[in-house]
């Protein structure tokens, strides 16, 4: 019988084995790797600023995912929703309002990006509500459609004539480029939006009517039904919000960092998936998510750094992320919360 | 003939409910033995123990004189026991042959359906049925599906067949065919346990019958030596007393609050669960519906509360047609609903008492204004209700699931009754509760009645119904029978109506 | 004409890793489990096969080890999903991340290294001479032939064996299977491990026959296409064959159609769009139980305890 103690030991064993694997395979001791990551991510002003920069999309996506997960809606399409937001921002900046001044242009970019992301999430939402389709599968598939869409645009109709055939869109006009904190890549408008929204959603989740509905639907859908709550409405709204937040992250990336649209892998190295861990580790608590995003941002920065300093492949961070996730999974059994799943009527 | 099965001293508890209390049950070879009792009497639990779905806390099982340990259906099947469940355990999209072959060990690894097809044809020939082994199960009628279940048991060389309420979904002709089949099986030395609450069937096809009540065995008798009235009396007991009605509230005009007319409602399988039901409930009246669970009560309540679509007929509340309205719309017309399963349907166990107490009216002022909830008001409200309804909890912020059953039910009542309802739908309100909590719940309901509420009380607890109802009806097989004023009713009569006499 | 035959012939190897992965994943999902770790298992299969082959000069040993590695990873997923009854989505994603990462670490030393032993095409004598079809189907490498056999075996077992009936029942109605005395967990473990082994095999094919080489992240999202094919085929192996070669063919066509102005990215979207469409069309038939489908993908099975 798997007791809570045994699973605690098991989760520690998982970590130990993982560290051992890194040691044996790469030839580098895990504590050296760890130190390298920490120092590069948090040990210098530059590192901290990069960490903060990378934490912005994690915050926004993580926030969106936590809303969905809280309502027992398994949105794993944040990656695609982010990219759609990026497309939306690019569209506005380059094709819709290229000559509009910044103070008007930028809010519109954010708005359109959020709408694009929201619509992208709306599709699995409608399919779930109308056809009872499993949102995990649909949102996952939509990720890859979005990735290909971005790639199509930058290799095709939106490819810049000024970039020697490289898959970039035209550079954004200055008015579409988000201001940064000097000497860093921190596009602070997005950061401010992220923090404000985190607080807003914390309030919404815990103190608003809609947040209440989300929590009831997430914790006991049957009781929600019996009390007359409109479950479909909750699912639709939650997914739209979730997608919208990821869309904002996408706007931030193209308008704040790259100042153009590029291939999907250049815009997001899997932020949407890392955000899943962030959302879960952040205990689906908006304020905790900000902190966790920062930590994982540091992990990403560290991951880049150890490629250079220790010669480790970039995939090492994936390994660490996966290890953390498994650890959390196994360990949560010992806290009796292994099942984030809830019994649901049979779905396709 | 010889005894094939003996269950001795079987006791099974779920929490502080004793589902089986030192029950003895024996079965002879070549016998059809009825297991009779109301729901909650323990008959399904007893057979689930025999089939390995539960393990008993105390007691032993002997098969052919040898003590056996049955820990799972796999063991039960090994010992020659086969169970035909009420909701058929069949994979709808698979063929008959595939379903029958499922779990059989001697069919060979490849093409397992071939040997099974042979057995199916043999069975069909022997007992005069026609079942095409290659038909997908979803295309079959209820009677045919049941025959597939029996073929399954037959192919496992079962010597003991347990049939759980087998006639619920069958037409009269199919019932007759089933009983003929059972009698033929009996000739071959097979033993059948027939779980039922229908006395007609017991008298029709059973050799002996064991009656359970309240988890205990009442008696085991030959069906030739008793009549239906005897059985009904044994099922419901002599210790039910008709208390003198304290007052029959007549100070209100006999306004009709709930009017149900010619209501037909389909169940999940698309068959009518509620058939042409009509009744009225007046202000200041408790209208009780007696009956064993599964006779359409759930679907009736779901239709009235908006949780299920109505196929035909109408429902009116205070004269307004509310048929097929959404749940929220009906509840907003001051209808209170106390659902049958309090943990699963009545509360959100992980959320606080405060959050649970506003489940109905969180979107109305003063609990919310604009977009936000006012937790100050909500806390006060929760505290007041906790005091008024005497719910024992540390404070209003603990998760509702940590309360005891009785307190959870009081919480639900607090929430529902405080909206000043005109109509209360109470479904098995004291199920699984201790005596004191039950009493408190009863008092609350009576108080509301005296204030002029109309109450629909659905329950299997006959004592409760007799204590509280002003008028009482029996629901059997989807129809309402015998609506009577409480003074004019006798227990025997109700009991008989409940079991289809 | 020759161009078409060449394209068709190239489609087969392109679709083979997809087919291998999909056959396995069909079994996994048929048991009611959702495995989002296919990508991680495939790439671990790829790197294991390459590494073992490079060290031992034995391609077949590499292939064998790769399927064991895939199975091992799948065992972890099975443990999480079946025994711990944890969230299958998270478990699968974690294994994908783990697999991508670990393979990167292990594979670093193999980047740019040529494979010492190559797997050559094995034209099957007389069969190869059948016009068109012979050329396309029977002038391939041994693993492709293996995939033909495996496709048949997986299909046959699923519908004509005792194991197949049990597997399908476990996925569609675990309570029915339980009631018939079947060990639901055992079947699920078996199905998940088989799925992992096949995913590993699919990955091995990439690094040891198709490329052959080791490139970090070389599966490039094939795992997700495998998932799409699994659903697109509505969990039927014979349809997975069509789906795998169809989507493999799209990959082959990608670059050939580019000069004509058809964007490869748009083509790449098609598998995923098709999958969603198929799901939409089939949903009604599935919910009416007319089509066989695993009923609660991703939801753990608890033997119901009433009360």
Distance from the B45 Cα atom to the nearest Cα atom in chain C, whole angstroms? 10
**Would you call A342 an interface residue with chain B, using a CB distance cutoff of 8 Å?**
no
* Res. A338: pLDDT tops 60: no
Q: Which residues are CB-contacts of B391 (< 8 A; sequence separation ≥ 6)?
A: B353, B385, B403, B407, B410, B411, B414
* pLDDT (average), residues A271-297: 88
CB proximity A231 to B under 8 Å = no
The predicted pLDDT at position B259 comes to 94
| pLDDT higher than 60, residue A275 | yes
Give the three-class secondary structure for A111: helix
* Phi, psi angles (nearest 5°) of residue B392: -90, 110
Task: State the Cα–Cα distance between residues B411 and B123, nearest whole angstrom.
Answer: 55
Neighbours of A13 (CB within 10 A): 12
Residue B499 neighbours by CB distance under 10 Å: 25
Four-residue CA torsion sign, A138, A143, A147, A150: positive
| Residue of A25, A26, A313 lying closest to C215 (CA atoms) | A313
pTM score, whole prediction: 0.86
Total domain count, chain C: 1
| Interval B293-328: pLDDT, tens | 778 999 999 999 999 999 999 999 999 999 999 999
- A46-60, B1-15, C41-55: least confident range: B1-15
Helices (H), chain A: 4-26, 30-42, 45-70, 78-90, 102-131, 135-155, 188-207, 209-219, 221-226, 231-252, 264-267, 271-281, 286-309, 316-334
Q: What is the pLDDT of residue B412?
A: 95
* C-alpha R_g of chain C: 19
Distance CA(B289)–CA(B278), nearest Å, equals: 12
Q: What pLDDT, in 10s, does the model give residues B47-68?
A: 999 999 889 999 999 999 999 9
As a whole number of angstroms, the distance between CA A258 and CA A185 comes to: 10
Q: How far is A106 from chain C (nearest CA, A)?
A: 29
List the CATH number of the domain containing C196: 1.10.3470
Q: Is the pLDDT at C67 greater than 80, yes or no? A: yes
Instruction: Give the chain B residue whose CA is nearest to the CA of C160.
Output: B111
Give A-chain residues touching B346 at CB under 8 angstroms.
223, 226
> Do strands B320-321 and B312-317 pair parallel, antiparallel, or not at all (unpaired)?
antiparallel
Start-to-end CA distance of chain C, whole Å, equals 69
Sorted by sequence, the CB contacts under 8 Å of residue A239 that are 6+ apart come out as A68, A73, A75, A121, A122, A124, A125, A135
Confidence tier at B241 by pLDDT (50, 70, 90): low
Q: Is the pLDDT of residue C296 over 80?
A: no
Given a cut of 50, whether residue C204 has pLDDT beyond it is yes
A285, A290, A295, A299: CA torsion to nearest 10: 100
Which candidate in B44, B48, B51, B93 is best for mutational testing of the C interface (most C CBs within 10 A)? B93
The token duo for C141 is 């490498």
Instruction: Burial-class residue A103 by CB neighbours within 10 Å (0-12, 13-18, 19+).
Output: exposed
> B433 and B409 in contact (C-beta within 8 Å)?
yes
User: Would you list the DSSP string of B375-398?
Assistant: HHHHHHHHHHHHHHTT---S-TTS
pLDDT in tens, A88-101: 999 999 888 778 88
What CA–CA distance (Å, rounded) separates B463 from C32? 45
Domain that holds residue C60: 2-114+127-287
What are φ and ψ of residue B85, in 5° steps? -80, 165
pLDDT of residue C303: 54
Report d(CA A346, CA C296) in Å as an integer: 5
List all residues of chain A from 253 to 282 with a beta carbon under 8 Å from chain C: 273, 276, 280
Contacts 24+ apart (CB under 8 A), B464-468: B464/B430, B464/B438, B465/B288, B465/B290, B466/B240, B466/B242, B466/B243, B466/B288, B466/B491, B467/B243, B467/B442, B468/B286, B468/B288, B468/B442
Report the candidate in A248, A113, A152, A115 with the shortest Cα–Cα distance to residue A194: A248
Look at residue C136 and tell me if it is in a domain.
yes
Contacts of A280 in chain C (CB under 8 A): 90
Confidence (pLDDT) at A341: 38
Query: What number is the average pLDDT over the span C245-253?
Result: 89
Q: Rounded mean pLDDT of chain C?
A: 88
DSSP B244: P
pLDDT of residue C292: 65
Tell me the two tokens of residue B121.
């044809």
C296 φ/ψ angles, rounded to the nearest 5 degrees: -130, 75
Q: Is the pLDDT of residue A172 over 60?
A: yes
Mean pLDDT across A205-212: 92
Among A207, A227, A237, the strongest candidate for a mutation testing the B interface, having the largest count of B CBs within 10 A, is: A227
Topology of domain B3-236 in CATH is Rossmann fold (3.40.50)
Query: Averaged over C66-88, what is the pLDDT?
Result: 93
Domain ranges, ordered by start, for chain B: 3-236, 253-334+421-501, 344-419
pLDDT at B74 over 90: no
Which chain B residues are closer than 8 Å to C291 by Cβ? 93
pLDDT of residue B458 exceeding 90, the answer is yes
Cα separation, C226 vs C45, whole angstroms: 15
CA atoms in the 13 A half-sphere facing the CB of A346? 17
Q: Minimal Cα distance from B79: which residue of C?
A: C181
Domain ranges of chain A: 30-334
- Best B81, B103, B153 member to test C by mutation, with max C CBs in 10 Å, is B103
- Count of positions (residues) in chain A: 348
**Dihedral of alpha carbons C236, C237, C239, C243, sign:** positive
Per-residue confidence at A282, pLDDT binned at 50, 70, 90? confident
Q: Which residues of chain A lie closer than 8 angstroms to C268, CB-CB? A: 144, 148, 151
Cβ neighbours of residue C67 closer than 8 Å, sequence gap 6 or more: C45, C197, C198, C200, C201, C204
Residues of B in contact with C166 (CB under 8 A): 102-103
Instruction: Give the residue-averaged pLDDT of A137-164.
Output: 91
Q: What CATH class has A30-334?
A: mainly alpha
Helix axes A102-131, C264-287, angle to 10 degrees: 40
As given in the structure block, the two tokens for residue B428 are 């098995």
pLDDT at A348: 36
Phi, psi of B164 (to 5 degrees): -100, 110
Query: For B268-287, how does the pLDDT look when each residue is reduced to its tens digit (9 = 90+)?
Result: 877 889 999 999 999 999 99
* Percentage above 70 pLDDT, chain B: 96
Question: Chain B contact for A199, CB < 8 A?
Answer: no
Flag if B359 and A215 touch (Cβ within 8 Å): no
Task: Provide the token pair at A184.
Answer: 């860093």
Cα separation, C3 vs B491, whole angstroms: 88
Token pair in block for residue B242: 């008709």
**Contacts of residue C93, Cβ cutoff 8 Å, sequence gap at least 6:** A76, A273, A276, A325, C36, C37
* Residue B183 contacts residue B24 (beta carbons within 8 Å): no
Q: Does A131 touch chain C (CB under 8 A)?
A: yes
What local confidence, expressed as pLDDT, does residue B76 receive? Answer: 92
Domain B3-236 matches domain B253-334+421-501 at the CATH topology level: yes
Q: Which residue has the tokens 């519906």?
A: B289
- Residue C218's alpha-carbon distances to C40, C43, C210, C232, in angstroms, are 11, 7, 11, 24
Specify whether domain B253-334+421-501 bears CATH 3.40.50.1100.
Answer: no
Sign of CA dihedral A247, A248, A250, A251: positive
Complex-level ipTM: 0.86
The 10s digit of each residue's pLDDT in C257-280 is 878 877 888 888 998 999 999 888
- CB pair distance less than 8 Å for B77 and C180: yes
DSSP state of B350: T
**HSE of A234, CA atoms in CB hemisphere, 13 A:** 26
B385-431 residue pLDDT tens: 999 998 988 888 999 988 888 899 999 999 999 999 999 999 999 98
Which of the four pLDDT bands, split at 50, 70 and 90, describes residue B494? confident
Respond yes or no on whether the N-terminal peptide bond of residue A71 is cis (omega within 30° of 0).
Answer: no
Q: Residue C241: which pLDDT band, with cuts at 50, 70 and 90?
A: very high
Subunit partners of chain B (3 or more CB pairs within 8 A)? A, C
pLDDT at B251: 52
What CA–CA distance (Å, rounded) separates A328 from B195? 47
Residue B244 has pLDDT above 60, yes or no: no
Residues 6 or more apart from B341 whose CB is under 8 A from it?
none
DSSP type of residue B401: G
Q: What pLDDT is stored for residue A312 in this prediction?
A: 87
Query: Mind listing the pLDDT tens digit for each residue in A229-264?
Result: 999 999 999 999 999 999 999 999 999 999 999 999
Q: How far is C84 from chain B (nearest CA, A)?
A: 21
pLDDT tens-place string over residues C154-173: 999 999 999 999 999 999 88
CB environment B479-490: b (16+ within 10 A), e (fewer):
ebbebbebeebe
pLDDT at B370 over 90: no
Question: What pLDDT sits at residue C23?
Answer: 97
Matching residue, tokens 């019958």:
B209
Tell me the residues of B at the A interface, defined by beta carbons under 8 Å apart.
305-307, 326-332, 337, 339, 344-351, 355, 358-360, 362-363, 368, 371-373, 375
Structure tokens at B81: 């026991």
- Rounded to 5 degrees, what are φ and ψ at B160? -125, 120
Say if residue A333's pLDDT is above 80. Answer: no
Q: Is B73's CB within 8 Å of C291's CB? A: no
Write down the pLDDT at residue B308.
Answer: 94
Distance of CA B491 to the CA centre of its chain: 20
- The verdict on residue C64 lying in a domain is yes
Percent of chain A with pLDDT over 90: 55
């Amino acid at each position: 019988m798997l007791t809570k103690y045994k699973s605690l030991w098991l989760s520690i064993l998982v970590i130990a084995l993982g560290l051992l694997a890194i040691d044996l395979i790469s030839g580098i001791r895990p504590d050296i790797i760890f130190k390298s990551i920490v120092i590069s991510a948090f040990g210098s002003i530059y590192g901290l600023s990069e960490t903060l920069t990378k934490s912005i999309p994690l915050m926004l996506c993580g926030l969106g995912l936590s809303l969905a997960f809280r309502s027992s809606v398994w949105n794993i399409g944040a990656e695609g929703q982010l990219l759609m937001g990026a497309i939306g921002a690019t569209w506005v900046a380059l094709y819709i309002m290229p000559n509009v001044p910044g103070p008007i242009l930028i809010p519109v970019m954010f708005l359109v990006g959020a709408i694009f992301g929201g619509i992208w999430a709306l599709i699995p939402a409608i399919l779930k509500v109308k056809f009872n389709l499993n949102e995990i599968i649909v949102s996952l598939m939509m990720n890859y459609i979005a990735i290909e869409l971005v790639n199509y645009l930058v290799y095709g109709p939106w490819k810049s004539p000024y970039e020697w055939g490289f898959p970039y869109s035209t550079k954004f006009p200055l008015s579409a480029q988000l201001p940064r904190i000097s000497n860093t890549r921190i596009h602070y408008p997005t950061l401010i939006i992220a923090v404000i929204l985190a607080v807003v959603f914390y309030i919404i989740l815990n103190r608003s009517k809609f947040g209440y509905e989300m929590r009831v639907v997430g914790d006991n859908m049957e009781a929600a039904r019996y009390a007359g709550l409109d479950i479909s409405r909750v699912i639709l709204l939650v997914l739209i919000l979730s997608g919208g937040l990821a869309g904002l992250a996408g706007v931030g990336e193209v308008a704040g960092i790259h100042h153009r649209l590029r291939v999907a892998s250049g815009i997001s190295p899997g932020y949407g998936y890392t955000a899943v861990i962030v959302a879960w580790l952040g205990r689906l608590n908006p304020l905790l998510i900000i902190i966790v995003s920062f930590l994982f941002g540091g992990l990403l920065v560290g991951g880049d750094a150890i490629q250079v300093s220790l010669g480790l492949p970039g995939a090492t961070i994936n390994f660490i992320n996966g290890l953390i996730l498994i650890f959390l999974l196994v360990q949560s059994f010992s806290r009796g919360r292994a099942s984030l799943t809830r019994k649901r009527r049979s779905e396709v | 003939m010889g005894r094939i099965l003996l269950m001795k001293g079987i006791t099974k508890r779920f929490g502080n409910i004793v589902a089986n209390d030192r029950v003895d049950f024996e079965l002879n070879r070549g016998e059809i033995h009825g297991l009779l009792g109301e729901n909650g009497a323990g008959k399904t639990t007893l057979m689930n123990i025999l089939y390995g779905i539960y393990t008993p806390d105390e007691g032993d099982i002997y098969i052919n004189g040898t003590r056996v340990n049955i820990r799972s259906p796999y063991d039960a099947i090994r010992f020659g026991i086969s169970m035909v469940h009420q909701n058929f355990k069949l994979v709808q999209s698979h063929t008959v042959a595939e379903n029958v072959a499922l779990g059989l060990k001697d069919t060979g690894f490849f093409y397992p359906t071939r040997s099974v097809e042979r057995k199916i044809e043999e069975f069909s020939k022997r007992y005069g049925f026609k079942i095409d082994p290659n038909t997908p199960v979803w295309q079959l009628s209820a009677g045919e599906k049941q025959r597939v279940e029996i073929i399954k048991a037959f192919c496992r060389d079962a010597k003991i067949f347990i049939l759980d309420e087998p006639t619920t979904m069958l037409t009269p002709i199919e019932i007759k065919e089933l009983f003929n089949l059972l009698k033929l099986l009996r000739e071959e030395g097979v033993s059948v346990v027939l779980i039922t609450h229908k006395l007609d069937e017991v008298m029709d096809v059973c050799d002996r019958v064991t009656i359970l009540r309240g988890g205990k065995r009442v008696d085991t008798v030959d069906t030739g030596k008793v009549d239906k009235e005897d059985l009904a009396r044994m099922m419901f007991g002599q210790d039910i007393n008709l208390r003198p009605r304290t007052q029959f509230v007549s100070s209100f005009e006999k306004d009709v609050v709930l009017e149900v007319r010619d209501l037909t409602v389909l169940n999940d399988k698309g068959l009518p669960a509620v058939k042409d039901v009509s009744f009225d409930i007046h202000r200041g009246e408790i209208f009780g519906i007696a009956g064993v669970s599964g006779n359409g009560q759930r679907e009736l309540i779901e239709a009235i509360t908006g949780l299920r679509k109505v196929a035909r007929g109408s429902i009116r509340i205070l004269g307004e047609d509310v048929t097929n309205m959404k749940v929220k719309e009906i509840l907003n017309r001051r209808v209170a609903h106390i659902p049958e399963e309090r943990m699963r349907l009545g509360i959100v166990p992980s959320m606080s008492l405060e959050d649970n107490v506003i489940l109905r009216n969180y979107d109305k002022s003063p609990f919310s204004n604009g977009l936000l909830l006012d937790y100050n008001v909500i806390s006060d409200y929760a505290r007041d209700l906790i005091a008024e309804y005497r719910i024992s909890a540390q404070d209003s912020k603990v998760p509702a699931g940590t309360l005891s059953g009785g307190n959870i039910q009081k919480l639900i009542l607090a929430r529902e009754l405080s909206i000043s309802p005109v109509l209360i739908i109470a479904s098995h309100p004291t199920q699984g509760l201790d005596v004191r909590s039950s009493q408190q719940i009863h008092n609350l309901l009576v108080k509301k009645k005296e204030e002029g509420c109309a109450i629909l009380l659905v329950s299997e607890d006959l004592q409760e119904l007799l204590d509280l109802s002003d008028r009482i009806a029996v629901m059997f097989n989807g129809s309402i029978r015998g609506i009577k004023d409480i003074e004019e009713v006798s227990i025997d009569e109700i009991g008989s109506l409940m079991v289809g006499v | 004409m020759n161009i078409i035959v060449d394209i068709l012939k190239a489609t087969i190897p392109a679709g083979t890793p997809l087919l291998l992965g999909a056959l396995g994943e069909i079994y996994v999902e048929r048991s009611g489990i959702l495995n989002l770790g296919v990508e991680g298992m495939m790439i671990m299969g790829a790197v294991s096969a390459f590494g073992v082959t490079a060290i031992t000069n034995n391609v077949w040993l590499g292939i064998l080890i790769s399927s064991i590695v895939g199975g091992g990873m799948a065992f972890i997923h099975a443990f999480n999903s079946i025994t711990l009854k944890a969230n299958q989505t998270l478990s699968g994603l974690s294994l994908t991340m783990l697999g991508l990462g670990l393979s990167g670490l292990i594979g670093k030393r193999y980047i740019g290294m040529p494979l010492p032993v190559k797997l050559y095409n094995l034209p099957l004598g007389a069969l190869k001479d059948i016009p068109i079809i012979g050329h396309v189907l029977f002038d391939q490498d041994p693993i492709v032939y293996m995939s033909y056999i495996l496709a048949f075996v997986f299909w046959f077992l699923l519908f004509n064996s005792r194991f197949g009936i049990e597997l399908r029942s476990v996925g569609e109605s675990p309570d029915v299977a339980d009631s018939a005395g079947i060990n639901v967990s055992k079947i699920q473990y078996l199905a998940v491990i088989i799925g992992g082994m096949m995913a590993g095999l699919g990955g091995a094919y990439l690094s040891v026959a198709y490329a052959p080489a080791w490139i970090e992240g070389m599966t490039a999202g094939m795992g997700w296409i495998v998932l799409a094919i699994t659903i697109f085929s509505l969990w039927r192996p014979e349809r997975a064959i069509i789906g795998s070669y169809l989507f493999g063919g799209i990959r082959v066509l990608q670059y050939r159609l580019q000069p004509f102005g058809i964007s490869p990215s748009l083509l790449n979207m098609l598998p995923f769009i098709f999958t969603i469409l198929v799901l939409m069309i089939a949903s009604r038939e599935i919910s009416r139980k007319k089509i066989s489908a695993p009923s609660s993908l991703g939801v753990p099975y608890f033997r119901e305890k009433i009360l």
